[in-house]
Structure 1
Amino acid sequence: MNPELRELIAELRTDLEADQPATLVWAQLNEGAPADQIPAGLPQSVRELLETTNGLRAGGFDLRSAARLDRVQYYLDLMPEFTGVADEPAEWLVFGTLNDEPLLIRRDTGAVWYFPAETTDEWFMRELFLDVAPDLDSFLAYYVFGAGYGEVDSDDDEWWGFLDEQGLTTPGDEDEETDD
């Protein structure tokens, strides 16, 4: 995980903790897990995420802790045939959910995949399964902690409001400075 993303997670965790217990309903960024508590065989990017935050809830996102990762792998058995996941389940890892729908990482490439909610159908009935980001860092930076959250979930919930307060909802804003 890149240092900027680690730093951002630490800063957001501090801000959320300052407003607890109110923020616990819609967001929680746990402390990182010790390396010996992270299961072997995980993609390096997932290991690094768990070392930084051992599970997180951010609006519609629920990225699982090291101890709970195995509890969401059942999604692999439910994947529609057209996705090809059932043909090579060892190549995939469900690392969390977005509104109770699976988020997967491809072990060989590190790309993050999901079912875009373009219809009201249940995720397993949809005909689109897309790689939403080339790697986990990009996914986290844009969709979980950035402007992309409004594209894949809601731009009218507490997490979006929090991201907006932090100046993270408009692409490119993080590099702008205001003059006093």
Structure 2
Amino acid sequence: MNPDLRELIEELRTDLEADQPASLSWAQIDAGAPDARIPADVPEPVRDLLAVADGILAGAFDLAGTAHIAYRQAMLADLPAFTGVGAAPAAWYFLGTLMEEPVLLRRDTGAVWWFPQTSGDPYYAREEFEELMPNLEYFLAYYVFGPGYADVGFEDDEWWGFLDEHDLTTVPGEGDEDEEGGA
């Protein structure tokens, strides 16, 4: 994991802990897990994350910690047939949920996959399953801890407000024209 993302997660955890118990219902970033507690078959990018945060509740996201790995991995076999995941569960890692819908990581590429929220149907009835981000770091930086949260979560929940307080809701460079008096 890149040092900037690691530092950001640690800073946000510290700020959330300072606001407990008020923040516990909508966000919690657990301390990192010792290496011995992380199973050997966990993909390297997830191992890096678990070493920094052994579970993350961030608004609409719930990224599983080490205590839930076996349970979540067992759920892979029950995913809809149209995904192909159940036929080859060893190729996937159950990363967590977004609004209680599975978010997976492909073990061979490290890409993060999801069920796009294109309708009000439950994920298993939408027959849409696609790559959301090419790797875990981009996913975390943009969707969990950044401006993309508004696209997949809730733009008016406590997590979004927390991200906004930490100046994490705008894409770097966005709005520069206005600040410089542009067109």
**TM-score scaled by structure 1?**
0.93
Tell me the secondary structure at the aligned position of residue 160 of structure 1.
Answer: helix
Whether 2:57 is the aligned partner of 1:57: answer: yes
Q: Once the 2 structures are TM-superposed, how far is the Cα of residue 30 of structure 1 from its aligned partner? A: 0.6
CA contact (8 A) 2:77 2:87 kept: no
- 1:69 aligns to what? 69
Separation (CA, whole Å) in 1 of partners of 2:106 and 2:115: 14
Q: Once the 2 structures are TM-superposed, how far is the Cα of residue 75 of structure 1 from its aligned partner? A: 3.0
Q: Bigger shift: 69-78 or 161-170? A: 69-78
- 1:161 aligns to what? 161
- How many equivalent residue pairs? 176
Q: Bigger shift: 140-149 or 73-82? A: 73-82
Which structure 2 residue ranges, 5 or more long, are not aligned?
Answer: none
Separation (CA, whole Å) in 1 of partners of 2:102 and 2:75: 7
1:121-177 deviations in whole A, cap 9, x for unaligned?
A: 111111211100100000000000000001011101000000001000010169x8x
1:99 maps to amino acid: M
- 2:82 aligns to what? 82
- 2:152 aligns to what? 152
Whether 2:112 is the aligned partner of 1:112: answer: yes
Q: Once the 2 structures are TM-superposed, how far is the Cα of residue 56 of structure 1 from its aligned partner? A: 0.8
1:16-51 deviations in whole A, cap 9, x for unaligned?
A: 111111001100011100000001111000000000
Separation (CA, whole Å) in 2 of partners of 1:36 and 1:153: 33
- 1:34 aligns to what? 34
1:6 maps to amino acid: R
Task: Give every structure 1 segment of 4 or more consecutive aligned residues whose post-TM-superposition deviation is greater than 3 Å.
Answer: none
- 1:43 aligns to what? 43
What percentage of aligned pairs have identical amino acids?
Answer: 56
Separation (CA, whole Å) in 2 of partners of 1:82 and 1:68: 25
| RMSD of Structure 2 on Structure 1 (CA) | 1.5
2:18 maps to amino acid: A
Separation (CA, whole Å) in 1 of partners of 2:65 and 2:173: 30
CA contact (8 A) 2:145 2:168 kept: yes
CA contact (8 A) 1:69 1:96 kept: no
Q: Bigger shift: 154-163 or 118-127? A: 118-127
Q: Once the 2 structures are TM-superposed, how far is the Cα of residue 7 of structure 1 from its aligned partner? A: 0.3
Which structure 1 residue ranges, 5 or more long, are not aligned?
Answer: none
Separation (CA, whole Å) in 2 of partners of 1:52 and 1:99: 23
- Please give the residue correspondences for 1:130-145 in structure 2 after superposition, counting only pairs within 5 Å: 130-145=130-145
Whether 2:39 is the aligned partner of 1:5: answer: no
1:57-106 deviations in whole A, cap 9, x for unaligned?
A: 00011111112111222431222222111221110010111111111000
